[in-house]
Structure 1
Amino acid sequence: MGHLLRSLLIILVFVLPASAQEDPFFSVDGLNEGLGAPPDNVDRRTPRTALDTFLTAADAGDWRAASHVLDLGDIETGLQARDGEILARQLHSVLDRKAVLDWSRLNQRPDALQVLGGSQQAQAGEPRRSLLIRELNLDPVPAAIRLNRVKPGEDTAPVWIFPRETVADIPALYAAYGPSALEARLPAAMLNDAVWGLMWWELIGLPLLIAASILLAWAIRRLFEKIRRSSDRAVVRGVLHGVRTPAMIAAVTTLFFVASRSIFVFSGQIEIFLTPLIAVGYVTAILMLILNVADALLDNLLAPEEDLDLTEAQYQDARSTATKLNAVKRILTIAVVLIGSGVVLSTADVFRGLGLSILASAGALTLVLGFAAREVLGNIMASLQIALNQSARMGDRVVWKGEVCYVERIHLTFIQLRNWDGTRIIVPVGEFVSETFTNWSIQDPAMLKILKFKFRPETDLDALREAFFEVMEELRQDEKLGGEVGEASEASMNVTGQDVFGIDVWFSVPCRDPNTSWDVACASRERIVKAARKIEGADGKSIFPEAQAAEAA
């Protein structure tokens, strides 16, 4: 009994896969009886020869031979000869204009078996009975142009033809992608091939379209300039100036898009470049719009040394707003670049099959690109980190490697610092966030400037302290710096140490704003030196140590 069960299981293992395997062709009752026997120049044994037969016959104007590559089974037998030629002519027009043929997918085997293939190609090593040539958009669902392998009857060899589903979509495809109304009115001579597979009307129409786009861009530029000059607000003028170029690009791109869909339905040689260029145009316009408008707002509302000085203490909220605006600009820029790259790749036939999957997958190419751009990506993420944690905001006064600067711009990959003398320091964002820096503006802009002096031990400290507080009072009365000196209670004089040369005396000068603290410190130091000289003259004793250069070293 056990031996019998094992035998049955073995039989099932071999029989079930064989029964589940589908035939390498579609069985049909008959094929194009209304066309008669196909002529000798019709070869439909392999997908490559079938498509080559169709294109060769169409180029020669032999539409009867071309119609033999169409499955006309849904058409009445008596109408197949007439309608077949019409459908063949229409399909050839669609293929010529919109289909970029990948002949490597149409091999020279009757079973279309793909010998080579990786783990991602599930049908490698198996015979094929249907091949997708191109998928074109139609309303409401796309239409697939396919070649199917059919067997008309038991005694007939299988052949490759355009199936009934594709034939049924030909009129709609021709209406959407066939010649425009303008092209239909052109004389036959203009429809002949000129050079590079282009027709004469395309060689004439394309330069005219380019000239029209230049004229449109010039008109939009003049319009924006006129509107910009009529405004008396700097921010409006800045935004209009930033929008002008993206508007020109978007308008020219729209002109090409409309012209290529309704006026000039170009052939595949132009369409293969025109479609991705239209996508690039829109992506570029959106990207420039984001960057230009954000920069215009920063330059005219929030930038230092303009109508609003972010370095001033009272504009702490404005510094945060400017930094957040920069963060939004960077996030939108990254999003537009990623999505736009996917759109451009998916619209270009040379990259069909890559498209958005490159950006979404963790494949080898993505890893290679990520490794090559790791420094750039690291800087981008670091700039987003600064924008989110607000450790350094636009307009903040910082000390970077001993240089007193303020943050002028936080770019995508670097930070632009402005030094006290007007020079700019460019720091990669990754380096900036990995180093320790001092931020004078992050919490409370008020600060103490410490002035360090060395005096002789016998110096009258009480007189020196009194002179220091008089200096502070004089500064508060100063017309220029009076408002920059802090509270009197925060001023102090402390003896912090001593050595062989004398005593160390530190004067703590309160400052309200880090941007003017250097000026307050310089003025205080000058007045303290003068006051010390007066004390020295009154006592007749030197209060500053007298040391030789070698001793001081």
Structure 2
Amino acid sequence: MIKRSLFLVTFAASLLLWLGVAVAEEAFFETEALNTGLGVAPERVDRSTPRATVETLFRLGALGDWEAAAHVLDLSALPPGLQAEQGAELARKLKSVLDRKIIIDWSQIVDRPDALDARASSRAATSGMARKSLRLWEFDLGPVPSSIRINRIAADGGEPVWVFSERTVENILPLYAEFGPTRFEQWLPKSLRKDAFWGLMWWEFIGLPLLISAAVAVGLAVRSGVRAVRRKATARLSKKIIQAASTPLIVAAITTVIWWGAANLFVFSGRINVLVSPLVAVGFVTALLMLILNTLEQVLDALVGFEDIDLTTRQEAQNREMATKVAALRRVLALAIFLIGAGIVFSTANIFEWLGLSILASAGAIPLILGFAAQKVLANIMASLQISLNQSAKVGDRVVFKDHLCHVERINFTYVQLRDWDGTRLVVPVEEFANETFENWTLKEPEMLRILKFKLLPDVDLEALREAHREVIGSLDPEELDDTQKAKVVVTGQDVFGIDVWFYVPCADPNTSWDVACQAREALVDHMNRIARQTKTPIFPEATPAEAA
């Protein structure tokens, strides 16, 4: 009984599966007639699968056999008497548009009669379904995009075939007018309009360098014009705004020439257009966002500019904090503008679709790849924002980083610029600067205590040293000193060589404390030598290098 039940279940499942396949294979549009004006399709016309139909158009087009290529179009909108004549011309124009606007990724065109995509995810809406209509590509044409679509049609009970849809055929002429060869290209000699290699025509190898040269020439002319206008400007803010607009105007001028030339003079093939179209979008968006960002920076400089202020002095603590916050605001604005620009470019230029990366983009792989590639840059950007927000190091602060006594000059997106005490600059990646331990002599209170450490003999006269220390403190510039009550002499330790004596020098400004400490050390050594001569008693221990080690 159980075996009989299992047999019935298996038989029913097999029957349902067979019926499902049979139904799937019957997915097509029915029509009374298809391209009766063309006659019977020759054997060289293969319309059995979507890929075969597209391949037939390009294969016969390369041979110039447009009469046969017309069979891959649904010419139902044309009277039968005009189908043979106009069908060949429409096939030629469709191939021309596809050549100029796309690079075909053949792996993305299904090669099954039922157009069932076996690679589709189980969660996809069309998973496991036979299809009778496929959208291959889409072009911006007027207010409404135009789709290139192929349908599976069975005429008068015949075998179903795949052809470019009737709606697509109706849009061929508008598409050709928009993306086909320009009037200038049609004036070129036929020898230049022939195919060369790599899917390009001879004129493209000449036209592209000419267009780039013209764009560069216009960019140089715009740069000269902007410089002339800037020289004539008298107001400081006007000069800054003109300077801020200089680079965006140059980028916009170059992009405009390339865009106009590619649209009106040279309609390039898909292999070139796939790069030109996104680059034009990137150029315009970059120019606009650079103009906004540069203008905001110049306005901020004019409102809270610190160019004429020495931020390293102790009196400029508030300005140091303000300068660091302004720098953080600039980075936030720059990052936000960059993200907005990237979103605009990716959404308007259809970069993933043109490059055949739509599957990767939809699966989220492209963001992961870009994120991994930009991991180091993003880490530096976030570290710079962290430093600016927590104020651990401000512009103008005096810091000791890896034994370098420096001032913080700039906190940029990816690096911190430090000015060493001898005037040299250290360029440190922001992430490294944020992860390393460093001394900030200006943090919280600018006053600091410098300690001069000496190794002296145990029988040294400490009172004489304290008197000498008081004289040294009294000889220093009072403006450079903090509360002199903090000046003292203490013994902090001893060993076989002698005692450790520390001399405290209270300094008011960390920027000058190192110089003040050097002066105090020099004066103390001079006083100690004088005491040693007067008492005829040595002060410093005598030890050989080996003993000292």
TM-score by length of 1: 0.78
RMSD: 4.6
Match of 1:266 in 2: 268
The structural deviation recorded for 1:213 is 1.2
Selected match of 1:214 from 197, 201, 216: 216
Q: Following superposition of structure 1 onto structure 2, how do residues 438-449 of structure 1 map, counting pairs within 5 Å?
A: 438-449=439-450
Q: Which residue identity does 1:491 align to in structure 2?
A: A
Q: Which residue identity does 1:51 align to in structure 2?
A: V
The answer to whether residue 542 in structure 2 is matched with residue 547 in structure 1 is yes
Match of 1:479 in 2: none
The structural deviation recorded for 1:473 is 3.3
1:381–1:503 distance in 2 versus 1, CA, 3 Å: same
Q: Which residue identity does 1:212 align to in structure 2?
A: A
Q: Following superposition of structure 1 onto structure 2, how do residues 475-514 of structure 1 map, counting pairs within 5 Å?
A: 475-476=476-477, 482-497=478-493, 504-514=500-510
SS of aligned partner of 1:157: coil
Q: Which residue identity does 1:153 align to in structure 2?
A: D
The structural deviation recorded for 1:160 is 0.9
**Cα distance per residue 1:205-252 (max 9 Å; x no partner):** 434322311210210221233344456789987886676445433321
CA contact (8 A) 1:532 1:543 kept: no
- Separation in 1 of the partners of 2:233 and 2:415? 34
CA contact (8 A) 1:458 1:543 kept: no
Match of 1:523 in 2: 519
**Cα distance per residue 1:409-444 (max 9 Å; x no partner):** 445454443332334445444443333221112222
Match of 1:352 in 2: 357
- Separation in 2 of the partners of 1:551 and 1:116? 79
**Cα distance per residue 1:329-366 (max 9 Å; x no partner):** 655359738937957782573343157557xx3x4x76
The structural deviation recorded for 1:161 is 0.6
Match of 1:275 in 2: 277
1:192–1:262 distance in 2 versus 1, CA, 3 Å: closer
The structural deviation recorded for 1:157 is 0.7
- Separation in 2 of the partners of 1:315 and 1:545? 42
Match of 1:384 in 2: 385
- Separation in 2 of the partners of 1:175 and 1:371? 43
**Cα distance per residue 1:296-324 (max 9 Å; x no partner):** 999999999x7443322233344444444
Selected match of 1:175 from 174, 177, 195: 177
Match of 2:153 in 1: 150
Match of 1:312 in 2: 313
User: Which piece of structure 1 moves more, 499-508 or 520-529?
Assistant: 499-508
The answer to whether residue 74 in structure 2 is matched with residue 71 in structure 1 is yes
The structural deviation recorded for 1:159 is 0.9
The structural deviation recorded for 1:162 is 0.9
Q: Which residue identity does 1:507 align to in structure 2?
A: F
SS of aligned partner of 1:149: strand
SS of aligned partner of 1:449: strand
Q: Following superposition of structure 1 onto structure 2, how do residues 161-200 of structure 1 map, counting pairs within 5 Å?
A: 161-183=163-185, 186=187, 189=190, 192-196=193-197, 197-199=199-201
Structure 2 residues without counterparts, runs of 5 or longer: none
1:290–1:428 distance in 2 versus 1, CA, 3 Å: farther
CA contact (8 A) 1:32 1:77 kept: no
**Cα distance per residue 1:69-126 (max 9 Å; x no partner):** 2223345556655654554444233223213223334465433455566668776766
1:153–1:315 distance in 2 versus 1, CA, 3 Å: farther
Q: How many residues matched?
A: 537
SS of aligned partner of 1:141: coil
SS of aligned partner of 1:515: helix
CA contact (8 A) 2:456 2:541 kept: no
The structural deviation recorded for 1:445 is 1.6
- Separation in 1 of the partners of 2:302 and 2:491? 48
- Separation in 2 of the partners of 1:214 and 1:403? 45
**Cα distance per residue 1:418-477 (max 9 Å; x no partner):** 33233444544444333322111222222111123455566665554454344333323x
Match of 2:102 in 1: 99
The percent identity for this pair of structures is 45
Selected match of 1:27 from 25, 29, 48: 29
1:231–1:322 distance in 2 versus 1, CA, 3 Å: farther
